[in-house]
Structure 1
Amino acid sequence: MTPADLSRTVLCAVRRAVGEGVLAGPVPDSVQVGRPGPGGSGDYATSVALRLAGPARRSPRDVAEILRAEILRCSPDLVTHVEVTGPGFLNFTLAPGSRSALVRAVLDAGIRYGYGDALAGTAVVLAPAGEIRAAVHTETVVRLLRTQGADARTGEDATERLSVRPVPAALAGDLFARLGPDAARWGLLRPAAQDRAATGDSLLVQHESNPLFTVRYAHARTRALVRNGAALGIPASGSHTDEPAARPLLDSIGDHPGVLAAAARHRAPDRVARHLERTAEAFLHFQETCRPLPVGDEKPSAAHRSRLALAEAAGTVLAGGLALLGIDAPAHL
């Protein structure tokens, strides 16, 4: 179960509660699901009960308890536990099998994993930009908006102009020639829009101290593992792995749709870049802790198939995110 699936499950529960007269008020168009905050529990959480409490004329905790029962009815095989915490947050613990479904969802969708319809029906016209950073930022935001179903473009009839801290003129002229397109784009997009862009030669360093190198290296490693697994006759399988070391990587992959949606809503490509860094770090730790390929005389097993599938899913997320930033994801590095 992906966060998008869980969001639809919660929305189903709201519709049922309203339809059966248990809960009063309008049904929202969408429900946001994210990581539990301080004091939370489980895999994911939502604050939808706080939104619905006013129209329902009930306390948020009352609304949360109503939705808790409906959610368990809507997906008893995918959500094993729903807990109400704080003023009315709903916290979800997913069934183990839902994680293998997540890997399968990524592999089925390819680099379009995380695309959705949260902004379907929304038209956005961004003002063209002449300054180098604003231009790169604007074209990237257009791509992000389109991943969420928005009709987005640039044009003179702009409805919105992005505010971006410009690159000093003395550094802007030869930036792409000096750094190359990939490093230059990372340096312009990785910092938040109002922070200073990165323009130094550190963007070219082939070392883990350079986040761009780490992300691209992690992607190349996923591709190498899949190639080597195929050569050994080990197919990638989306079966679930219960290994604790896989959990951070699964969590990061599961977060990808929400990151894309938030980056589009907030016009913030830097959120995608930071998420790619987290995913790359989680994958590199995973591959060191849980070897995806047999070592020595070790026989290929179901665990290796599952690990390879997870590696392939991680590579898919990294490739998709880099593509949205306009950065190449090489299979060899």
Structure 2
Amino acid sequence: MTPADLSLTVLHAVRRAVDEGALLVDVPARVRVERPRGGGVGDYASSVALGLARPAGRSALDVAAILRERLRDSPGIRAVDITGPGFLNFTLDGDSDRRVVADVLAAGARYGYSDALASTRVRLFPADEPRAALLVETVVRLLRAQGADAAVAAGPGAERLAVVPAPADFRPDALGDDAARWALLRPAAHDHVLPGAPLLVQHERNALFRVRYAHARVRRLLHNAARLGFTPACAEHVDAPLLLSLLGDHPAVLLSAARLRAPDRVARQLEAVADALLAFQHTVLPLGDEKPSAAHRSRLALAEAAGTVLAGGLTLLGISAPDQI
């Protein structure tokens, strides 16, 4: 179960409670789930009960209890706990990690795409300044990936994106398209453009290099595994909580980036996935005389899923994902 799936499951529980008369509130448009904070338990948490308490005329603990009763037997959820003033905490079942990997591999580079914004029409005002023009182009791509009717068009109601312009001496032609895009998109729109020269250095301090190198490492792992006679398979649980968590959160990151017009969120997500993957990749292939096992096939599947997320995210930013570096 991905965070997006869990969010929908909780939303359905709210709707059931309203339909059954247990809660007299308007059903929210969406429910936010996130990693538990201090004092929380399990894999994810939601403050939805706190938000519904006042309009329902009930305490947050009462609302949380009502929702917990409607979430206990939901597929993919092993336990629902209530902590603090009324936070819902979810522990997912043991198969959820394998399902995340399977979902990524099934969706390919379109993992995280959705129809969440299918009823949304967005027109972004065209821009002449290079950074603003690139931001508009990329935001349209992100919105369309979430089902929105998005386009660049002038006219009444067209949305203008506020962005700090690129400096006058910024030279995209000297950087190449990939590095130039990263320099312009990686900082938040209200921050200054990244210096270009460091992005041309193949070094671990260069985040763009790490992201693209991590993708290339996955392609090499798959090649070497094939030479050893095995292929990826979601056969068993893999002990890589950070990487699995990042893959599970990816759809929510893409949706948030589209809603907030913030491609930098995608770039930061790719950096985190790349760093977790590079720390994990040494465990994937058998060592010495070790024979390939179900564990190796499962680790390879997780690595392939991570590489798939990197390739899809780079594509959304208009940046290439080479098989070799």
> How much does 1:242 deviate?
4.2
Contact 1:35 1:44 in 2 (8 A): yes
SS of residue matched to 1:91: strand
Query: Structure 1, residues 62-84: CA drift from partner, whole Å, max 9, x if none?
Result: 11111112111233xx2112121
Q: Which moved more, 1:258-267 or 1:66-75?
A: 66-75
> How much does 1:301 deviate?
0.3
Residue in structure 1 matching 2:177, options 181, 186, 191 = 181
> How much does 1:226 deviate?
1.4
Q: Is 1:132 equivalent to 2:124 in the alignment? A: no
> How much does 1:114 deviate?
0.7
- Aligned residues: percent identity? 62
Task: Report the equivalent of 1:101.
Answer: 99
Task: Report the equivalent of 2:261.
Answer: 267
Letter in 1 for 2:281: Q
Gaps of 5+ in 2: none
Residue in structure 2 matching 1:276, options 261, 270, 280 = 270
Task: Report the equivalent of 1:238.
Answer: 234
Task: Report the equivalent of 2:297.
Answer: 305
Query: Structure 1, residues 34-55: CA drift from partner, whole Å, max 9, x if none?
Result: 2222332221111211222223
**Equivalent-residue separation in structure 1 for 2:73 and 2:24 (angstroms):** 19
**Equivalent-residue separation in structure 2 for 1:252 and 1:79 (angstroms):** 19
> How much does 1:159 deviate?
2.0
**Equivalent-residue separation in structure 1 for 2:55 and 2:34 (angstroms):** 23
**Equivalent-residue separation in structure 2 for 1:113 and 1:278 (angstroms):** 17
**Equivalent-residue separation in structure 2 for 1:32 and 1:116 (angstroms):** 16
Task: Report the equivalent of 1:111.
Answer: 109
Q: Is 1:204 equivalent to 2:200 in the alignment? A: yes
User: Please, what TM-score do these two structures have when normalized by structure 2?
Assistant: 0.96
RMSD value over aligned CA atoms?
Answer: 1.3
Task: Report the equivalent of 1:10.
Answer: 10
**Equivalent-residue separation in structure 1 for 2:56 and 2:92 (angstroms):** 28
Q: Which moved more, 1:40-49 or 1:321-330?
A: 40-49
SS of residue matched to 2:79: strand
**Equivalent-residue separation in structure 2 for 1:274 and 1:249 (angstroms):** 14
Contact 1:3 1:33 in 2 (8 A): yes
Q: Is 1:330 equivalent to 2:312 in the alignment? A: no
User: Please, what TM-score do these two structures have when normalized by structure 1?
Assistant: 0.94
Residue in structure 1 matching 2:209, options 208, 213, 220 = 213
**Equivalent-residue separation in structure 2 for 1:74 and 1:161 (angstroms):** 42
Letter in 2 for 1:327: I
Letter in 2 for 1:256: H
**Equivalent-residue separation in structure 2 for 1:298 and 1:170 (angstroms):** 55
Task: Report the equivalent of 2:249.
Answer: 255
> How much does 1:262 deviate?
0.8
Query: Structure 1, residues 124-158: CA drift from partner, whole Å, max 9, x if none?
Result: 00010100100111101111111111111111125
**Equivalent-residue separation in structure 1 for 2:229 and 2:9 (angstroms):** 38
SS of residue matched to 1:143: helix
The runs of at least 4 aligned residues of structure 1 exceeding 6 Å deviation read: none
**Equivalent-residue separation in structure 2 for 1:39 and 1:273 (angstroms):** 30
Task: Report the equivalent of 1:39.
Answer: 39
Letter in 1 for 2:184: L
Contact 2:180 2:196 in 1 (8 A): no
Q: Which moved more, 1:212-221 or 1:42-51?
A: 42-51
Residue in structure 2 matching 1:227, options 223, 230, 235 = 223
Q: Is 1:65 equivalent to 2:65 in the alignment? A: yes
**Equivalent-residue separation in structure 1 for 2:112 and 2:285 (angstroms):** 28
**Equivalent-residue separation in structure 1 for 2:132 and 2:229 (angstroms):** 48
- Cα distance, 1:74–1:18 mapped onto 2, change above 3 Å: farther
> How much does 1:233 deviate?
2.1
**Equivalent-residue separation in structure 2 for 1:86 and 1:265 (angstroms):** 30
**Equivalent-residue separation in structure 2 for 1:205 and 1:18 (angstroms):** 57
Contact 1:12 1:74 in 2 (8 A): no
Letter in 2 for 1:301: S
Letter in 2 for 1:241: H
Query: Structure 1, residues 201-236: CA drift from partner, whole Å, max 9, x if none?
Result: 101110100000000000111111112222322121
Letter in 1 for 2:97: R
> How much does 1:93 deviate?
1.1
**Equivalent-residue separation in structure 1 for 2:196 and 2:74 (angstroms):** 52
Letter in 1 for 2:109: I
